[in-house]
Chain A
Amino acid sequence: MRILIADDESMSRKLLQKTLERAGYEVTAVENGRLAAEQLCLADGPRLALLDWVMPEMDGPGVCREVRKRNVQSYVYMVLLTSKESKEDVVAGLESGADDYLTKPFDPEELKARLRTGLRILSLEDRLIEAREEMRFQATHDGLTSLWNRGVMMDLLGRELARSRRENVSTAILMCDLDHFKSVNDTYGHATGDEVLKETAKRLLASVRSYDFVGRYGGEEFLVVLNNCKPPFALARAEEIRRAISQKPMPSSSGPVPVTMSLGLLLSHEWGFRPLEELLHEADVALYAAKAAGRNCVKLASPNTSLVAPEPQEQAHIRMRR
C-alpha cells in the first residue's frame, strides 16, 4: 500500500519513512503541504496520508481541506500528526477533513494500528465501489450475452441519431434476428440455445467497429447501430454481419449448430426527422421482408420503395416462425 508522508522536519520524515517501510508500506515523502496536496489529488496518487500539522506553504489542515474540496475520485484517508494536543486543535483538525490524528512523538505500534483502521476504511470503499460498478453493469447489460440491454440501446441510438442529424451523416440501424431459433432450442435444448446466443453476441461484436453499438433487443433479436456509416457501404457491412453468423456453425456443448440470421437495415439519413420508435418499426418491417424472402438475407428499409408491411395476422405468423 502506498502512503504519503508530509513533514518539513527531516528527522520526522526519516523516522516515519523507516517505520512505515518496515511495516510494508511504499512511502512517498514530501516536505511541505503544497506538494502533499498535489500528490494526493493525482488520479493515481496515494490514498493514505500522514500529514504534519505545521508545515510551510500549506499546513496539514489546509491539505485536508484542499483534498476534500477537489473531491478526488477515490477516498483519501488522512491522519494529522501533531504535537498540539489541545481539544480545540483536535476539533479544528478533524473539521478540516482529517480522518484521525496522532500526537507526536508517536508510538510505532499505535501509528501502525491507526493506519490499519485507515486501510479497513479504504478496503470498505473499494468493496462498495466494486458493488456499485457491478450493479451498474447489471442495470445496463444483458445478463446472458453481456451486450447492452434494450433500454441502454434506445438511449444510445437516440443520442447517435441526434448527432448524425447535426453532422449530416447517416446512422445504420440493423434489426437482426436468428432464423428458426425455436427449433435450435427444441432440437438441442435451452442450454445450447443460450450458448448460441452468446456466440452470436461474440460474432456481432467482432464484426463491428469499437464505436458501433450492439445490444440484445429481445429473445433472439439483436440491434446493431453502425455510427457514421457511409450509405454505399452499409449493405456490404450488413452482409458481412450476416455471413459472420452463417459462415460457420456455432460451437456448443452439443456440437456445432448451424445458424443463420435475417437482417432489416435502415439508413437514418433517408428518413428525415422521423422519431426513433418509427425508425425501429421500419427496420422491423424490413426484417419481416427478409424473413419473407426466405431468411438468411438483408433487406433495406427505404421510404421511396417502401416495403409493404405484412398484415397484422401475417406479421404474427412470421414472428412465430422466426
Chain B
Amino acid sequence: MPNAIINLTELLARVENDRELVRELLSIFKDEFPGHLQALREAVDSMDGDRVTAEAHTLKGMLSNLAATSAADAAARLEQLGRNREVSKFQEACSSFETVSKDLLQQLDVCMPEVRG
C-alpha cells in the first residue's frame, strides 16, 4: 500500500502472524485512540506541558504497537516538546499529528478487511 501509515507486514511479524490478535489490537485502537487524541488536543490548548508529555507518550506507545512509525514519530516529537516545555511549538506539532492521525484512521478501515483475509 503506497504511503502506508500502518506497516501491516511488520505488524503481522510482531504478532507472530496472529491475525486474530491484529483485529483485537485494531479494535482497541479504534475505541481508545479518539479519546486520547482529544485529551492531547485539550492539553495543547491549555499549554499543559505535563499532560502533553503524558498523552503524547501514550499515543506514541499505541502507534508503535501498530507499526505506525510516522504517526509514532509525530507523537514522540510532541512528547519531547512537552518534556522540554516548548509551549510555542505545541500547536504546530499537534496539527501535524492530527493530520497523520486522520490518514491513519482512514487506513484502519482498509486494514480491517485485509487482516480478516
Contact = CB atoms under 8 A, between A and B. Distances in A.
A105 B63 CA distance: 9
Contacts of B60: 83
B64 A83 contact: yes
Contacts of B15: 15, 18-19, 108
B65 interface: yes
Interface residues of A, number: 17
Contacts of A107: 14
Interface string B17-30: 01001001100110
Contacts of A54: 54, 57
A274 interface: no
A108 B54 CA distance: 26
A12 B61 contact: yes
B6 to A, nearest CB: 13
Nearest to B26: A11
Interface in B45-73: 54, 57-58, 60-62, 64-67
Interface in A48-67: 54
B21 A12 contact: no
A159 interface: no
Given A10-B28, A11-B28, A22-B16, A105 B21 contact: no
A108 B18 CA distance: 12
Contacts of A105: 14, 64-65, 67
Contacts of A83: 57, 60-61, 64, 76
Interface in A15-63: 15, 18-19, 22, 54
A22 B24 CA distance: 16
A133 interface: no
Interface string B26-48: 00110010000000000000000
B96 to A, nearest CB: 19
A281 interface: no
Contacts of A11: 25, 28-29, 32, 61-62, 65-66
B104 to A, nearest CB: 14
A231 B39 CA distance: 79
A204 to B, nearest CB: 60
B65 to A, nearest CB: 5
Given A10-B28, A22-B16, A105-B14, A15 B21 contact: yes
A9 B14 CA distance: 17
Interface in A72-100: 83
A132 interface: no
A9 B76 CA distance: 16
A19 B61 contact: no
Contacts of A230: none
A181 to B, nearest CB: 68
* The 6 residue pairs across chains A and B that have the minimum distance between CB atoms: A105-B64, A11-B65, A9-B61, A18-B21, A11-B28, A11-B62
Interface of A: 8-12, 14-15, 18-19, 22, 54, 83, 104-108
Interface of B: 14-16, 18, 21, 24-25, 28-29, 32, 54, 57-58, 60-62, 64-67, 76
Given A14-B21, A105-B65, 13 more contacts: A11-B32, A11-B62, A12-B61, A12-B65, A14-B24, A14-B25, A14-B28, A19-B15, A22-B16, A54-B54, A54-B57, A83-B60, A108-B15
14 contacts: A8-B58, A11-B28, A11-B65, A12-B61, A14-B21, A15-B15, A15-B65, A18-B21, A19-B16, A54-B54, A83-B61, A104-B64, A105-B67, A108-B15
